[in-house]
Amino acid sequence: MWQILAGQPHPRAALKLLHSQPALEFAPDRWMLRTAFCRVLTAMWLFVAGPACALDLPGSAVRLAWLKMPGVTDPTTSLTAWAQEIRLRTSIDIAGQPVGIRPEDPALFNYPLLYWGGDKAPAHLSDQAVAALRQHLSTGGMLFIDNTGRTEASQAFDQGVRHELARLFPQPLQRVAPTHVLYRSFYRLDRPVGRRADAHELEGIRVGNQFAVLYGRNDLAGALARQAVGGYALAVIPGGETQREQAFRLGVNLVMYALCLDYKDDHTHVMHLLRTRRGAKALAAPAPPPPPILAPPPEP
Amino acid sequence: MSQGDHLEWGLHWAWPVWLLVGALALTVLALAAWNTRKLASKPRRALLFLLRTLTVGSVLAVLAQPTWVSRSLRPGGQRVAVLLDRSASMAHGPEGKTRWDQALAAAARIERKQPVAWYTMAQRLEPARSLADVKTRKPDGPSTDFLAALNDLGDARRSGGLSAAVLVSDGLDNGPLQARTANDAQTLDAESAETLDRLRLAIHTVAISDAKPARDVAVTALRASAFGFTRTYMPVTVDLELSGYATVDGELKLVLKDNGRIAVEKTLPLRGPAQRAIELEFQPLHVGPHLLEAAVAPLPDEATVVNNQTWASLQVVRDRTRVLHLAGHPSWDTRFLRAHLRGDPAVDLVSFYIMIGQGAAGYVSGEDTTLIPFPTREIFEDSLSSFDLVIFQDFPFGPFQVERYLPELHKYVTGGGAFLVLGGRQSLSGGGYYGTALAEWLPIKLEPLAGADVGWQDGVVTPMLTPAGALHPVSLLAADADGNNKAWNRHAFSGRNTSVRAGGDGNVLVTDTAGHPLLAVADIGDGRSAVLATDSLWQWAFPPNAATDARDLSRDDYHRLLDQLTAWLLHDPDLNALRLEPPTEPVAAGEPVRVRVTARSASGQPVSGLTLRWRVAPLEPQPDKMEAAKPDAVKPLAESKAWQEPTDERGEVVLALPDMASGPHQVQVEAVVDGRNQQASAPFAVAPATREASRLQPSDQLLRLLAKSSGGLLWHDDAPASGIPLPRQSDADTADLEHTDLWTRPEVMIWLTLLLGLEWALRRRWGLA
C-alpha cells in the first residue's frame, strides 16, 4: 500500500486511491489501521501544502488502471507484472502498481490507458459511465478489453462488451490488420496471443486515426498473472513459455501504441524496417535466453 | 505646281470590271442619243449629249478615286544624323583617349566628308547645333537607352531630311534593348525591330572600344525566383562579366547574402571566359520579404567597384513545417504532442524516441524488435538544416553522443532555427544540460545539481503570468490581459524542473508561485529558443474533473499554446500586427523609396489612427554573440532618429523614406497595438543613381544588331575614311509628298449636280421627258 501512496504525486489522488483499494491482500484489521494512518498523513500533507494541492492531477509516470465494476475480477497481479515487464524492457517511466477506478469517477481522466477484463457478462454501464468513457476515449484515452475466459473466450463477456461498446460509439468493432503498427510498435509480432491463442486477431474501434478501443479474446492478463510467492499463476496453452513471452510482448506493444501512436509508421522507420526486417518469426520460437551481459547501445 | 506633282488613282479594279463599267457607260450614252432623236435641232441634240457625256465621265472619274500628289523637297536632304553616346560609361579610358574622345574624333571624320545633323544621347536624344556644341557636353549621362534615342530621331527626321544615321557608342545599353536581348542573340526582338522599321533609316554604328582594356569584374544580374519556401533549397544564378582577366591567374570570391547574412560563398578562378553564369543554391530561413545580394570581393586593379554587387528581392513563404522531435522516452506528454503535431497537415514530423534505457537494454534482443539505432550523425550532420523546428522533449542527449554536435545545433539556432525544450525528469539540469554549450542558448539559466537533487520536483504547480507574459504572443490565451490571467488560472501543472532560474537574454513568461520559471523564450541570433520546464502540459489536452465546456476550453488552450509557441519560434509573420511591403526592385538612389505598412489587431481588424515610429538602418547581420543576440538590444528604436506616421482608416500608411546611399537597408517600424509593443522590419536595396557602372566592358553586340536590322554597317573605333555610305538619292529619301483626295471634295458634288440639273432643265424646256 505504501508503494501506491509513494507513486501518487498528489495527496488527493492518494486519498482517492485509498478509497478505491478495498480488496488487497491484507488482513482487515491491519488494513483498517493502515488506512487510518495514511488518511492522517494525507490530511497533514494537504494542510501543509495549501489549497493548490487540493487539485487532483496525475503524475508524469504512466500508470495502468483497470475499470472497477461489479463482477470484474481484480487484475492487479497481472497488471503489476505487465508494468514490471514494461519497466524492465523499455524506457517508459511506469508506475509499478496499477489502480482500479470506477468509470464514473472523475479521476478516470488521470489514467489515459484503461484495462477492462472479464470472463462473464459485464454489468450494465450507467449512463454517467458511458458518457465519461466516451469522453475519455474520444479525447485521447485508450481502453484495452481482455476476454479472460478460462478455456475459451467467454461468449457472455463478448456479447456484453459488444453491447456496451455499441452504447459508446456508433461504429462497430473492426479487425486490426496484421500489418497494423500495433504489431510493430516495439516488438515485431505476427499475431496476438495471451494465455490462450485461439483468437487470431485483435478487434478495435477507431477514433480519428488511431484505435481508442482494442479488444483481445486470448486472456492476456492470464498469461501475465503471477502468484504471490513467485512464478506464473496460470499455464499458457498451447505454446507454453514461448507463448507467454509473446503475450508479454503484446503487452509491451499495447502500451507503446498507446504512447507513441503511429510513430513506427513514420517514413524513416518504415524504410529502415524494409531494409532490415528478416523473415516472419514463428510463434513457436523459444523464449529469449537470459539477458545478455553486454547491453546494446541505447536505441530509440 | 512643281516638278513631280502628279495624279494618282486610288481604285484598282481588275480589267473585267472596268470593261463592264465602260460598257455600262456606253449604254447610258447610247440611250441618251436615242432619247434625243425627236429633237429637230441638231445643236440642241449635241448639247444634251455633251451634258450626259460629261456627267458619265465625271461619275467614272469619282469612281476611280483620284488623288493629287504634290512633292516638296525637304531642306537639308542628304544629311547624316550623327548620335554620340555621352553616357557615363563613355568617360572611361586614359586621359585624352577616353571613349568620348574617340567618339568625337570619329564624328569629326564624318563631318569632313558630308553634311551632318548633330545629336548626343543618353536616356534620350539631345539635338546639338554643331560639333563644337557637342564638344561642350560631358559624358555623364546616368543611363543609356538606344531605343528611346532612336524613337526621338524618328520625330527629328520628319521635320528635316536625313539620309542615314550613325550611332557612335561603346554599346553599353541599360534600357529595354539590353533587357530584351540575350547574350547570344543574332537578331533583334520584334518590338525593337518594329521601332527601327518606323524610322526608315539605315542605322550605321561605330563601336568604340578601349585603347587599353580596363580590368573590371561586374555582377551584371542576380536571377532568382520571386518566391521561395522556407528551408527549401532554391537556385539562383549570378551573371558575372570579367574584363581584362582572361589570362590572369588568381581567384575571385563570390558571396551570396540573404538579408545581410552570408548564405553561400564560392571561389572562382579569374582565368576563364569573360561572361559567366554562376549557379548557386541557398536556404531561405524565415517567412517574409528577403533581400538577396550577390557580391564579388574587389580586386586590387579594378577600374571600379560600384558594379561589384547587385540585389534581388525574394518573398519567402512556408509550405510545410518540418519538425524534428527527439523524445527521451515515450510518455503521455509525447503522445499528446505527437497527436497535436500530426493533426496539422502542414507539419512534416520526424520523430525519434529513445525506447529503451541503459538498464532495459539487457532484456531486449534487437532482432525481435523494430528498434533502430539512434541516427545521431544523420540528424545533426546531414539534415539538421532542413528542419524548421527542433524539439528536445525530456531528452537527455548525453548518452547519444549529441554533445559533439552541439556546435552544429548552435549554428542552426543562431542561423535562424527554432529550438524548443520540453521538460521532464531527464531534461535541463536533471538531464545533464548544465555546463554544456546547449545551456548557453536556453532562455533560462541552469544551476548545478547539489547533493540528492535530481532537478525535478513533484507536486501541483500553479502557473502565474509574468508582466512580460501577460501580453506576449506565446502566452496569450485570451484577447486581453485580464482574460489571459483568467485563462491561465484554469490550469495547473504536475511537477516542474528545478535548478533553473531567470537570466540572460531570456524572457520569462510564466513562473510558479515562487517565481521559478516555467515558460521562457529568447531570441538567439537569427533564431529563437524556448523552454517549458514541465512534462505535464498534456493534462491540458486531457483535463480531468471538469464540465464539458471547461474541458473544451482546456483542450483549446493546449492547442493554442503549442500553436503560438511554434509560430513564435518560427517567426510567423501572422503573429505580428505590423506588416511591411518594401519595394520589390532596387530603387535608384535619389528616387523615393515607398514602404507600405499595414496594422492589424489580434482580431484581424485594421487599426486606424495608429502612430508608427520608424527609422531606416543599414541591413547588417546580427552578430553571432549571445550578448547581442536580442534584436531589441541592437539599437532601440526610441534612441535613433525616427519619424512618426499615422495609419488611415484601412490601417495602412505608405512611408516615404528619405534619400539613401546605394546599398542594402532595412526599415524598422514600431507601434503599440492591442497594448503590446510591436516591431517589424523589412529589407530593401538602393541601387546606384547611375546604372552605367553595372557593366564596364564595351560590347558591339547591340550595335551590330541595330546595324543589321536597319540595313546599316558597323565599324570599330572610327568612321570610314570614305564617308558614310548613303542610299541612292530618291524622292523617298529627300522629299515629302502630300496626297490630296480629289473625289471627296465638295466641288465634285456641286459639279455633278450642276450637270444633271442643267440637263434636266433643258430637256423640260425642249419638251423631252
Over residues B323-340, the mean pLDDT reads 94
Does A162 contact chain B (CB < 8 Å)? no
Q: End of a domain among B571, B604, B639? A: B571
Whether residue A49 and residue B400 make contact (CB cut-off 8 A), yes or no, is no
Please tell me whether residues B226 and B296 are part of one structural domain. Answer: yes
User: CATH code at B717?
Assistant: 3.40.50.410
Grid cell for residue B640: 535613433
- What is the total residue count of chain B? 769
Within a 10 A sphere around the Cβ of B190, how many other Cβ atoms? 8
For A:68-127, CB contacts with B below 8 A are 87-93, 106-110, 112
Q: Of A241-255, B2-16, B237-251, B618-632, which gets the smallest average pLDDT?
A: B618-632
List the Cα angle B555/B560/B564 in 5-degree steps.
155
Q: Which of A182, A209, A259 best probes binding to B when mutated, by most B CB atoms within 10 angstroms?
A: A259
Over residues B486-492, the mean pLDDT reads 91
CA distance B321 to chain A (A): 16
Look at residue B156 and tell me if it is in a domain. yes
At residue B334, what are phi and psi to the nearest 5 degrees? -70, -35
Look at residue B422 and tell me if it is in a domain. yes
Q: What is the C-alpha to C-alpha distance for residues B162 and B201, in angstroms, rounded to an integer?
A: 8
Over residues B625-637, the mean pLDDT reads 38
Q: Of B131-140, B200-209, B211-220, which gets the smallest average pLDDT?
A: B211-220
Q: What chain A residue is nearest to B457 in terms of C-alpha separation? A: A9
Nearest one of A242, A262, A237 to A183, comparing CA atoms: A262
Grid cell for residue B572: 510567423
Taking 50 as the threshold, does the pLDDT of residue B671 lie above it?
yes
> Least CB-CB distance to A140: which of B331, B336, B544?
B336
Please tell me whether residues B336 and B312 are part of one structural domain. Answer: no
User: CATH code at B640?
Assistant: 2.60.40.1940
Look at residue B733 and tell me if it is in a domain. no
> Least CB-CB distance to B543: which of A92, A109, A185?
A109
Does A228 contact chain B (CB < 8 Å)? no
Whether residue A293 and residue B362 make contact (CB cut-off 8 A), yes or no, is yes
Taking 50 as the threshold, does the pLDDT of residue B397 lie above it?
yes
CA distance A135 to chain B (A): 9
Whether residue A9 and residue B494 make contact (CB cut-off 8 A), yes or no, is yes
Tell me whether residue A2 is exposed, middle or buried, using C-beta atoms within 10 angstroms of its C-beta: 0 to 12, 13 to 18, 19 or more: exposed
Tell me whether residue A185 is exposed, middle or buried, using C-beta atoms within 10 angstroms of its C-beta: 0 to 12, 13 to 18, 19 or more: buried
| Helix B42-63 vs helix B15-35: crossing angle, to nearest 10 | 160
Rounded to the nearest integer, the mean pLDDT of chain B is 85
Please tell me whether residues B540 and B394 are part of one structural domain. Answer: yes
Q: What chain B residue is nearest to A261 in terms of C-alpha separation? A: B335
A64-276, which class in CATH?
A: alpha beta
pLDDT of residue A58: 62
Q: How far is CA B200 from CA B162, B165, B203, B644, in A?
A: 10, 10, 9, 56
Q: What is the DSSP string of B571-621?
A: T-GGG-SEEEE--SSPEETTS-EEEEEEEB-TTS-B-TTPEEEEEEEE--P
Look at residue B67 and tell me if it is in a domain. yes
CA distance B547 to chain A (A): 10
Q: Which of B326, B334, B335 best probes binding to A when mutated, by most A CB atoms within 10 angstroms?
A: B335
Quote the number of domains for chain B.
5
pLDDT of residue A271: 59
pLDDT of residue A52: 33
Please tell me whether residues B182 and B234 are part of one structural domain. Answer: no
Whether residue B331 and residue A60 make contact (CB cut-off 8 A), yes or no, is yes
Look at residue B490 and tell me if it is in a domain. yes
Range of the domain at B669: 575-687
Helix intervals (H) in chain A: 2-7, 11-19, 28-49, 76-89, 127-138, 155-168, 220-224, 240-260, 267-276
Does A63 contact chain B (CB < 8 Å)? no
The four Cα atoms B721, B724, B728, B731 give a dihedral, to 10 degrees, of -140
Task: Encode A198-208: b = buried (16+ Cβ within 10 Å), e = exposed.
Answer: ebeebbbbebe
Confidence band, pLDDT 50/70/90 cuts, at residue B621: low
pLDDT of residue B200: 81
pLDDT of residue A275: 52
> Least CB-CB distance to B542: which of A87, A109, A273?
A109
Q: What is the C-alpha to C-alpha distance for residues B289 and B291, in angstroms, rounded to an integer?
A: 7
Q: Which of residues B606 and A267 earns the better pLDDT score?
A: B606
Q: What is the C-alpha to C-alpha distance for residues B247 and A148, in angstroms, rounded to an integer?
A: 89
User: CATH code at B256?
Assistant: 2.60.40.10
Helix (H, G, I), strand (E, B) or coil at B42: helix
Taking 50 as the threshold, does the pLDDT of residue B762 lie above it?
yes
Q: Which of residues B318 and A103 earns the better pLDDT score?
A: A103
Q: What is the C-alpha to C-alpha distance for residues B166 and B155, in angstroms, rounded to an integer?
A: 16
Domain boundaries, chain A: 1-57, 64-276
Cβ–Cβ < 8 Å for B143, B173 = no
Low-confidence ranges of chain A (pLDDT < 70): 1-59, 267-300
Nearest one of A111, A193, A84, A104 to A147, comparing CA atoms: A193
Please tell me whether residues B483 and B632 are part of one structural domain. Answer: no
Over residues B101-124, the mean pLDDT reads 89
Q: CB under 8 Å to B316, separation ≥6 — which residues?
A: B227, B228, B229, B230, B284, B286, B287, B288, B289, B290
Q: What chain B residue is nearest to A95 in terms of C-alpha separation? A: B331
Please tell me whether residues B297 and B372 are part of one structural domain. Answer: no
Cβ–Cβ < 8 Å for B443, B506 = yes
Whether residue B494 and residue A298 make contact (CB cut-off 8 A), yes or no, is no
Cβ–Cβ < 8 Å for B224, B236 = yes
pLDDT of residue B737: 64
Please identify which residue in the block is written with the cell numbers 520584334: B190
Please tell me whether residues B337 and B392 are part of one structural domain. Answer: yes
Taking 80 as the threshold, does the pLDDT of residue B645 lie above it?
no
Whether residue B328 and residue A135 make contact (CB cut-off 8 A), yes or no, is no
Chain-centre distance of CA B37, in angstroms? 89
Selection from B62-71, B402-411, B690-699, B739-748 with the highest mean pLDDT:
B402-411
Chain-centre distance of CA B355, in angstroms? 50
Look at residue B1 and tell me if it is in a domain. no
Look at residue B323 and tell me if it is in a domain. no
pTM above 0.80, yes or no: no
Over residues B521-536, the mean pLDDT reads 93
Q: What percentage of chain B exceeds 90 in pLDDT?
A: 33
Taking 70 as the threshold, does the pLDDT of residue B226 lie above it?
yes
pLDDT of residue B436: 93
Please tell me whether residues B514 and B426 are part of one structural domain. Answer: yes
> Least CB-CB distance to B539: which of A49, A58, A89?
A58
Taking 80 as the threshold, does the pLDDT of residue B568 lie above it?
yes
Over residues B143-148, the mean pLDDT reads 90
Taking 90 as the threshold, does the pLDDT of residue B152 lie above it?
no
Please tell me whether residues B428 and B517 are part of one structural domain. Answer: yes
Q: What percentage of chain B exceeds 70 in pLDDT?
A: 92
Look at residue B333 and tell me if it is in a domain. yes
